[in-house]
Structure 1
Amino acid sequence: MSQKKRILIADDDPAILDSLELILEDAGYEVITTGDGAIIQDLVQMGPDLLLLDIWLSGWNGKDICATLKHNEQTKHLPVILFSASRETEAIARDAGADAFITKPFELDDLLDTLEQHL
């Protein structure tokens, strides 16, 4: 049996974290969640296969986190999907070097398809 893919989700809305965790675990993923942008670097050391990152995070915003990860030799291979309700999500994702973006609210199938494409 292949190992479960591990997804790190960072969002400052606990309700979104809870629902995404349930949905993705149900879809067969291992899920790590945080509402604190400041500890992303530490969590990335746990070796997630993908980072699902809200742009507006407390502590450290998703755009800066993504750009930092993409400029770091150890983490630049990590797929990062930015998500936000902002109309600027696409432009922000492009600027930050994200692998993809999802605009909230999103369809579940779209989320799962996007995750599959990058795992």
Structure 2
Amino acid sequence: MSKKVYIADDDPGRIELIIVFLETIGYEAEGSTELLDLLLLDTINLPDVFLLNIDMWGEDSEMISSYLKSNEPTRTIPVILFSTLKQAEQNINDRYADGFISIPFEINDLPGLLKKLTS
């Protein structure tokens, strides 16, 4: 059974590219550009990993990660933040994240990070 990844990004084209990339390496993936979709996920069919663009929400990205880590159904699901800004990596611990990836420059690092967090 393949692992599921949920992608939240404000760029639908980037979501599609990430979905195609993840599906070629054996993951199921879905995503949305809407914050409400992330907050209203079906708790019966939750993903194995959240992949969230912190550029999408700016200061609110800490609140989103905190919500996911404090909400009972999503508490144990790894959160990987991504950004086009490399300096954002310095803030991942402040944002309740389990990992960080720079997009698009380190997309090839994503499979290893996903495997590490879902094993």
TM, length-normalised to structure 1: 0.86
Inter-partner Cα distance in structure 2 for 1:73 and 1:61? 20
Secondary structure (helix, strand or coil) at the match of 2:109 reads: helix
The worse-fitting range, judged by mean Cα deviation, of 32-41 and 83-92 is 83-92
- Residue 15 of structure 2 is matched in structure 1 by 17
The worse-fitting range, judged by mean Cα deviation, of 81-90 and 95-104 is 81-90
Q: Which runs of 5+ in 1 are unaligned?
A: none
Is the contact between residue 63 and residue 92 of structure 1 (CA under 8 Å) also seen in structure 2? no
Q: Which runs of 5+ in 2 are unaligned?
A: none
Higher helix share: 2
What are the superposed Cα offsets for residues 48-99 of structure 1, whole Å, 9 maximum, x if unpaired? Answer: 00000001226x9433211111122321101000001224422332111100
Query: May I ask how many residue pairs the two structures share in their alignment?
Result: 116
Moved >2 Å (runs of 4+): 43-46, 60-63, 104-109
- Residue 27 of structure 1 is matched in structure 2 by 25
- Residue 50 of structure 1 is matched in structure 2 by 49
Query: RMSD of aligned C-alpha atoms?
Result: 1.9
Is the contact between residue 3 and residue 27 of structure 2 (CA under 8 Å) also seen in structure 1? yes
Inter-partner Cα distance in structure 1 for 2:85 and 2:107? 18
Is the contact between residue 53 and residue 82 of structure 2 (CA under 8 Å) also seen in structure 1? yes
Task: Please tell me whether residue 78 in structure 1 is matched to residue 43 in structure 2.
Answer: no
Is the contact between residue 101 and residue 107 of structure 2 (CA under 8 Å) also seen in structure 1? no
- Name the % identity: 36
Inter-partner Cα distance in structure 2 for 1:35 and 1:11? 5
Task: Please tell me whether residue 62 in structure 1 is matched to residue 31 in structure 2.
Answer: no
